[in-house]
Structure 1
Amino acid sequence: MTKTILLWYKSYIHSDGLRSFDVKSNKCFLKTRFSYAFPKEFPYRMNHVLECEFYLLELMDCCLIVYHPYRPLLQYVQDMGQEDMLLPLAWRVVNDTYRTDLCLLYPPFMIALACLHVACVVQQKDARQWFAELSVDMEKILEIIRVILKLYDQWKNFDDRKEMAAVLNKMPKPKPPPNRVRERRRSAAEDTDPAAGTGQPPGEMAPIPFFLASRIATTPLHA
């Protein structure tokens, strides 16, 4: 759902319109990637996307300029001089951090440094001197690294098909949209037959309420 909203915002920012290819690729991704979680028809429709758009705009304080760890990560890797070796892995670690709440708790440059540190350890790159020269709170960097390592540790025993189905079952489901065809038929019937929409058979008038019937009975026919 959020992926669809972000794709929608992308068309706003770049003013290039929403390409049909993007819509189709997003739809295919949802149907293939999460088919196990939605055994029936995908419950979300365009009206839910538009409603979610307002919530996301409120969280962003109506500002479409969002800072992320990717740009500082590029600068750090270039400064370190190990772009070919560290950048691909560090970039994937940044992608994984969006499965946590780190982006809500720490600034982007700290997340970028933590991901770069993880990449250095995995690639066995000695960057202790480079990190020591930084003017940054290393305790916070270590806190971010612990969250990342905890995420990878949970992934070892995490089964998407079992866990996500249980989570989605607890979430409130959107109400089904009204049947437009049925409403139009009912409206057309009301225009042609006064008894339509009152629960009476076609061609028959609805019964007069009791208080009106008594008033009609006591009203003289002639003045």
Structure 2
Amino acid sequence: MIIRKYGITLRRLTLEDIELVRQMRNSDDIRQVMQYRQEITPEMQLAWFERINNFENYYYIVEYQGEKIGLINDKNMDWDARTSESGVFFWDKDYIHTFIPILASLVMLEMGFYYLDWNTSYVHVMRDNPAAIAYTKQIGYVLCPGQENEENQLYFLNRQNFEYLGKKIRKAASVFIEDEYPEGFVLLEPQDYESGLADRIEEYFLKAGVNLESESNAEGKRFFRPRLK
């Protein structure tokens, strides 16, 4: 499964990539801003992957200009309430303090709000991580009531806030839109159909009632929003 927009590719995590993610997640720079700060072993990483490789959790390698630069997720998806929790970390220092992490978040959030008709996205941010807090608020997330004194604070983002509070960010992101598929696309690959994942996602696309166009080729089935007038 691939999601693409703004020159960013989100490629669903596979077994082949979990060792790369483990090594990067264990780096001192990343561990110190996470709630869990112990070293992760290969066995722990494999057990984690087996728990999250399902219809309720979506972890993606973030790719930019052909390089794997980070990991972003949409987890604990409640397909009835249409809510989920997001998280992200980047290991490529060339991009951490650029606009690229925000673009990656926009790609995933637009998938939720515009393809799945999602209601709310949640995210936990450590209170002692001001850079992550600023990043979160820029997109439009708001601190949940009663979270002011929590060490690991919970923020929420609904579609209204995404379109209103995140309006400036999305306008700035528009310069990264590509000529082909300007509204981006979701590609369900052959292995997604073999696993049954693609059929369930297609079923939800229909249930959400979102106007999507599609085309099929050897790569799989590509879904995309009609070009805005």
Q: For the pair shown, which has the larger CA radius of gyration, 1 or 2? A: 1
- TM > 0.5: no
Structure with larger RCO (C-alpha < 8 A, sep 6+): 2
State the TM-score bracket (shorter-chain normalisation).
under 0.3
TM-score w.r.t. length of structure 2: 0.25
More helix by share: 1
TM-score w.r.t. length of structure 1: 0.26
More strand by share: 2
